[in-house]
Amino acid sequence: MQSSIMSSLRAEAIDAPASQIIEIIKYADGKDDITPLWAGQGVLPTPDFICDAATRSLAAGETFYTYQRGISELREAIARYHERLYGRPFDPERFFVVGSGMQAIQMAVRMVAGPGDEIVLPTPAWPNLSAAVGIASAKAVEVPMQFRPEGWHLDLDALFGACTERTKAIFINSPSNPTGWVADEAELRAILAFAREKGIWIIADEIYTRFYYGEGRDTAPSFYEIMDEDDRILFVNSFSKNWAMTGWRVGWISAPPAMGDIIENLIQYSTSGVAVFMQRAAIAALEDGEAFVAKQIEQARVGRSKLLEAFEGNNQLRFAAPKGSFYFFFGLADEPDAWPLTKQLVDEAKVGLAPGFAFGQSGCAFMRLCFATTSEQMDRAVMRLNRWLSARDAMPERVLDLEQA
Amino acid sequence: MQSSIMSSLRAEAIDAPASQIIEIIKYADGKDDITPLWAGQGVLPTPDFICDAATRSLAAGETFYTYQRGISELREAIARYHERLYGRPFDPERFFVVGSGMQAIQMAVRMVAGPGDEIVLPTPAWPNLSAAVGIASAKAVEVPMQFRPEGWHLDLDALFGACTERTKAIFINSPSNPTGWVADEAELRAILAFAREKGIWIIADEIYTRFYYGEGRDTAPSFYEIMDEDDRILFVNSFSKNWAMTGWRVGWISAPPAMGDIIENLIQYSTSGVAVFMQRAAIAALEDGEAFVAKQIEQARVGRSKLLEAFEGNNQLRFAAPKGSFYFFFGLADEPDAWPLTKQLVDEAKVGLAPGFAFGQSGCAFMRLCFATTSEQMDRAVMRLNRWLSARDAMPERVLDLEQA
C-alpha cells in the first residue's frame, strides 16, 4: 500500500531533498554538550520589546482575518526602514508581508519559473533556494564560485554564460550564506545590466546586508542603490536574523508595486496572510529595534574576530575571511570531503557545524559555522576546535586510516 | 515597463483570481454601520486561555527554529482530539502542523496534481480550493450540485462521471461551505470505494464537522469512520473556526504516516514551520477548549434557528436549511444573479454577504451569510433583511428597473 501511495504522488514532492543541515542536527540528537553552531541563529531569544508588542495585540483581540498584503502600518514601517538604510524614499506599496523569508523565496520562484525554466545561482548557496526551484518543477543551474584565500570569487562571465533562453531569473544572495562573499557595486551593476538586456528577473536575497565587515559603509552594497523602481527585481527578506526572530516565520517580499494584485492573490491562496499580532511585533522590531540590531552586529563582529585571530595562518585550515553575513565557511586543507568531518566534530570536538555539501557541490570541502552568538559560546567553540585540530595533527595518518577502516 | 513585468511572469500567477469575497468587502470599505456576515468568522476574539498560552511561550523564549512537522506535544494533542471525536486511536505521526487550513489545501493539491492533471469537486465550494488547483497548473473540474429546498444534493453518478484518467483527486468538503450540505455515511462509502478502485486521492475538508445539525450524532459523518489508516486521503484542517482563531493561520494536514518525510520537506521549502508559541496556543485550544467549542456550536445553532424561523415559508427566498457548517446560502426567487443584490444589500440593507458566484457558477443565484455570530448581530441582520425584503416586495418592478437604468 505504501508503494501505491508513493507512486501516486507528484515527482517534485517525492524528489524534494531532505535538508542536510537538518540531517546533521538529527545525527547529534541525544548527544550531550554539543556547541550548536549549525543553524543560522544565535542563543538569544527574541527581545522583550518585540514579544510584548505581540502580547499586547493578542490582549487587544487582534485575532481576526487581515489584509493579505500585510497591515498598512507594517508596510509603512518597512518602507521607513529602507529609507533609513538607503537614504531615499520607498513606496510602501512595494512591500508584501509573508510567512517567512522562505515563503518569500518560494513565491518569488513560482512567480517567474515553472516546468522547463531555469534559475541560475552562484554556489555554495543556502540549499532551500534550489529546493524551492525544484518543487516549482524548474531547474536550478549552479554556477560554482571560486574559493580564494582572499575571498570567494564570482566569475561574472561564467554566471552570464550559464544563462540561456530558458533562464527566468538569476538568484543573488549577497552577503552570502554560507561563504560570506559580498558583491561589490560594480558586480551588482554588471548583473543588473545583463538582466535588463536579457529580460531576466533578479531574485535578490540581501537578508544579511546589515552584517557587513567592509570599510567605508554600514551595509553591504545593494541593488536598491542602483535600480529603478520598476526593475524586474524581487527582493526576499526576513525578520529572522536582524531581530532574533527565527522562530516567528515572518518575512517580506519587495517587488514592483504594479505586481500588487498578483502577489495579494498568491498570498491568499498559499497561507492567507500573517497574524496581525505577529505584524505588530514586526513593527516594534523595525521602529524600536536599532539598538538591538547594533548589538547583534557587534556580537557577530566579535565572533568573527575571535575566529580570525584563532585560525589565521593555520595551515590545517582553508577559509576566506567572510566579508559579510555571519558564517565562517572553512575546511581542512587535506580533506576534500567535509561530511565525515562534520560528524567527527560532533562526536569528538562536540561542535555542531553544517556540512558544506548541503550548499552545493562546490561546498563539499567546507563546513559552516554560525558566529552570530555569544562571546562565551564562541570561546568554547574555538577552544574545542583548536583542541581537536591539535589532536588530529598529532595523530599519524595511518592510525587515522586504520580507525576509519 | 509594467507590461514587460507582466509578460515575464508565470501565467498561473497572473491568472490567479481575485477572491470575490474580498471584492465585496472592498466594495463596502468606508461605508458605515454594515452588519458584516460575509466572512467565515464571528465577532468573538480568540479566548484568553488560548492567547495566554502563546504569551507564556513567548515569555519563556520559545522563539527559535523548530520541527518542520510541528512539535510533538501538539501532534499528540491533535491525535488525542481525534480520539475523543471518533473513539479510536490515532497515530500522532499522521498529523502535520502547517500555517493555515489554506496552506494544508495548497500542499495537498501540489502533492497530487500538476500540469495536465484534474481535481474534481462538487460546487458551490469555497473558491480558494479551485484557485489553489489553478496555481498548481492543474484544472479544477466542477460538478454542480442540485439545489433542492429540502437540501442540496450531490449526484454521485455525475461526480464519478467527471473523473477521467487525468483525475488525481476528488475534493470533498462536508459539511459544506457554503451550502450546508453534509455527506451521509453511504455517500462517503461510495466515494471512498470509487477512489480506491480508480487509485484517486481524496482531499477531505471536514473543517466544519463539529457544526452538525442532524439527529443522532454529535459530529458530521467522516471519512475517519470508514477508512483504513493508509487509504489515500489527505485531510486538511484548521484551528480557525472551532476556536475563533481565524487570524492565527494555524492548521494541520492528516495523511498516511508513510508520507512523513515528504510532507516535512515540503513544509521546509514553503514556510519552514509554525512558531512554537502559536503551537502552544493550539495545544491549549485542543486540550482546554471543549467548553468554548460547545459555546461556539450553540451560538451557531441559535443563529441558524433565528434564520429559519424568520424566513421559512417566505416565498421571496430560495434556500435549503443547512445540515452542517455555519452558513445560510440563500437567493431571491426572482433573481438568478445575486451579485448586484449583494451590493444592494450593503447599500440599502446594511448587511454584508458573500456573493454566491464566488463559490462557482452553480452558486450564482445565492448569497452566503455566516451565522456563527452573536444573538444580537443575528437579530439585527434578520431585522434588516426583513425590512429590505418588505420594501422590495412593495416596490413595483418597473421602478426597480428604472432605478437600475
What are the pLDDT digits (tens) for A56-92? 999 999 999 999 999 999 999 999 999 999 999 999 9
Closest CB to B271: pick one of A65, A249, A278. A249
Interchain contact, A275 vs B278, CB within 8 Å: yes
Contacts of B103 in chain A (CB under 8 A): 270-271
- Nearest by CB: A135 against B269, B273, B275: B269
B404 has a pLDDT exceeding 60: no
pLDDT cut 70: percent of chain A above it: 97
CA A234, CA A255: separation in Å to the nearest integer?
A: 5
- Based on C-alpha coordinates, what's the Rg of chain A? 22
Per-residue pLDDT at B138 exceeds 50? yes
Query: Is A62's CB within 8 Å of B45's CB?
Result: yes
Q: Are strands A167-173 and A201-205 parallel, antiparallel or unpaired?
A: parallel
* pLDDT at position A4 over 90: no
Whether the Cβ atoms of residue B143 and residue B158 lie closer than 8 Å to each other: yes
The shortest CB-CB distance from B45 to any of A61, A66, A261 is to: A61
Contact status, residue B326 vs residue B302, Cβ threshold 8 Å: no
- Chain B hits for A25, Cβ within 8 Å: none
**Four-way CATH pick for B55-289: 3.30.420.40, 3.30.1280.10, 3.40.640.10, 3.40.190.80:** 3.40.640.10
Q: Is A383 helix (H, G, I), strand (E, B) or coil?
A: helix
CATH topology agreement for domains B2-46+291-388 and B55-289 = no
CATH number for the domain running over A48-288: 3.40.640.10
CB B8 to CB A112 under 8 A? yes
Residue A2 confidence class, pLDDT cut points 50, 70, 90: low
CB contact under 8 A, B271 and A102: yes
| Distances from the Cα of A345 to the Cα of A33, B75, B395, angstroms | 12, 33, 84
- Cα angle A376-A242-A293, degrees, rounded to a multiple of 5: 75
The pLDDT of residue B405: 39
B2-46+291-388 domain in CATH 3.90.1150.10? yes
Residue A61: all three cell numbers together: 483581540
pLDDT band at B395 (very low <50, low <70, confident <90, very high): confident
A2-46+291-391 has CATH 3.90.1150.10 classification: yes
Closest residue on chain A to B169 (Cα): A8
Q: Which of A405 and A24 is assigned the larger pLDDT?
A: A24
Instruction: For A233, name the nearest residue in chain B, comparing CA atoms only.
Output: B5
C-alpha cell at B296: 461556539
**What gap in Å lies between CA B273 and CA B74, rounded to an integer?**
13
CB contact under 8 A, A22 and B62: no
Position B394 scores a pLDDT of: 85
> Is the CB of residue B241 less than 8 Å from the CB of residue B39?
no
Mean pLDDT throughout B252-273? 96
Which residues is B324 bridged to in the sheet?
A: B212
B132 CB neighbours in chain A (<8 A) are 269
Percent of chain B whose pLDDT exceeds 70: 97
Q: What is the pLDDT at residue A20?
A: 84
Q: Which of A126-130, A168-172, A191-195, B208-212 has the lowest mean pLDDT?
A: A126-130
pLDDT of residue A3: 63
Give per-residue pLDDT as tens, A125-149: 999 999 999 999 999 999 999 999 9
Task: Give the whole-angstrom CA distance, residue B213 versus residue B198.
Answer: 33
User: What pLDDT, in 10s, does the model give residues A82-123?
Assistant: 999 999 999 999 999 999 999 999 999 999 999 999 999 999
- Among A63, A68, A249, whose Cβ lies nearest the Cβ of B45? A63
Where are the domains positioned within chain A?
A: 2-46+291-391, 48-288
Pairing of strands B351-352, B35-36: parallel
pLDDT the model gives residue B3: 62
**In B290-375, which ranges are E strands?**
317-319, 327-332, 351-352, 354-355, 367-370
- The confidence band for A397, taking pLDDT boundaries of 50, 70 and 90, is low
